Amino acid sequence: MSALLTVCRKEILETLRERRTLVSLLLGPLFGPILFTVIINMTVSRNLTSLDEVLEVPILGAEYAPNLVAYLRARSIAPIEDHDIQDVEQAAELVATGTYDVVLVIDEAFGKDFGTDRAARVALVVDRSKNRAASRVGRLRGAVDGYSQQIGLLRLVANGADPSLLRPLVVDELDVSTPASRSALMLGVLTYFLLFATLTGGLHLAIDTTAGERERKSLEPLLTLPVARSSLIVGKMTATVCYMLASLVLTLAAFTIALRQMPLEQIGMSSNFGFATAALAFALLCPFAPLGAALMTAVASFTKTYREAQTYLTFVLLVPTLPLIIASVLNIEPEAKLMWIPSLSQHLLITTLIKDQPLTPSFVAISVVSTLALGGLLGWLAVRLYRREAILG
Partner 1 sequence: MIEVEGISKSFGAVRAVDGVSFTAADGRITGLLGPNGAGKSTCLRILSTVLEPDAGAARVGGIDLAAASLAARRVLGVLPHSSGLYQQLTGRENIEYYGRLHGIAEDRLAARVDALIERLELGAIASRKAKGFSQGERTKIALARALVHDPQHLLLDEPTNGLDVMATRHLRDWLRELRGQGRCVLLSSHVMQEVDALVDELVIIAAGRVTLRGSPAELAQRFPGRSLEEIFVEAVRGAERSAA
Helices 19-49/179-207 angle, 10° precision: 160
103 vs 237 by CB, closer to partner 1: 237
Give phi and psi for 122, each to the nearest 5: -130, 155
How many CA atoms, within 13 angstroms, populate the side-chain half-sphere of residue 46? 14
2 counts as binding partner 1 under rule CB under 8 A = yes
* Sheet strand arrangement including 55-60: 77-80, 55-60, 102-106, 122-126
SS3 of 84, please? coil
Choose the binding region for partner 1 from 89-97, 156-164, 196-204, 222-230 (rule: CB under 8 A): 222-230
Minimal distance in Å, beta carbon 225 to partner 1? Answer: 5
Residue from the set 17, 20, 83, 128 that interacts with partner 1 by CB under 8 A: 17
Distances (CA, A) of 131 to 78, 91, 137, 138, 317: 22, 19, 10, 11, 31
Minimal distance in Å, beta carbon 387 to partner 1? Answer: 11
Find the distance separating the first CA and the last CA of the chain, reported in whole Å. Answer: 27
5 vs 38 by CB, closer to partner 1: 5
DSSP letter at 211 equals: I
CA 265 from centroid of its chain's CA atoms: 18
10 counts as binding partner 1 under rule CB under 8 A = yes
For partner 1, the binding residues in 226-255 under the rule CB under 8 A are: 226-228
Residue from the set 116, 162, 170, 221 that interacts with partner 1 by CB under 8 A: 221
Minimal distance in Å, beta carbon 299 to partner 1? Answer: 22
Minimal distance in Å, beta carbon 304 to partner 1? Answer: 15
217 counts as binding partner 1 under rule CB under 8 A = yes
Spatial CB neighbours of 321, under 8 Å, sequence gap ≥ 6: 192, 195, 196, 343
Among 240, 235, 232, 231, residue whose Cα is nearest residue 205? 240
Choose the binding region for partner 1 from 140-148, 187-195, 211-219, 281-289 (rule: CB under 8 A): 211-219
Residue from the set 53, 84, 220, 333 that interacts with partner 1 by CB under 8 A: 220
389 counts as binding partner 1 under rule CB under 8 A = yes
DSSP letter at 78 equals: E
Residue from the set 45, 47, 150, 218 that interacts with partner 1 by CB under 8 A: 218
Per-residue binding letters, 18-37, with partner 1 (x by CB under 8 A)? x-------------------
SS3 of 222, please? helix
Residue from the set 223, 253, 364, 373 that interacts with partner 1 by CB under 8 A: 223
Among 329, 37, 70, 129, residue whose Cα is nearest residue 347? 329
What residues make contact with partner 1 under the rule CB under 8 A? 2-3, 6-7, 10, 13-15, 17-18, 216-228, 389, 392
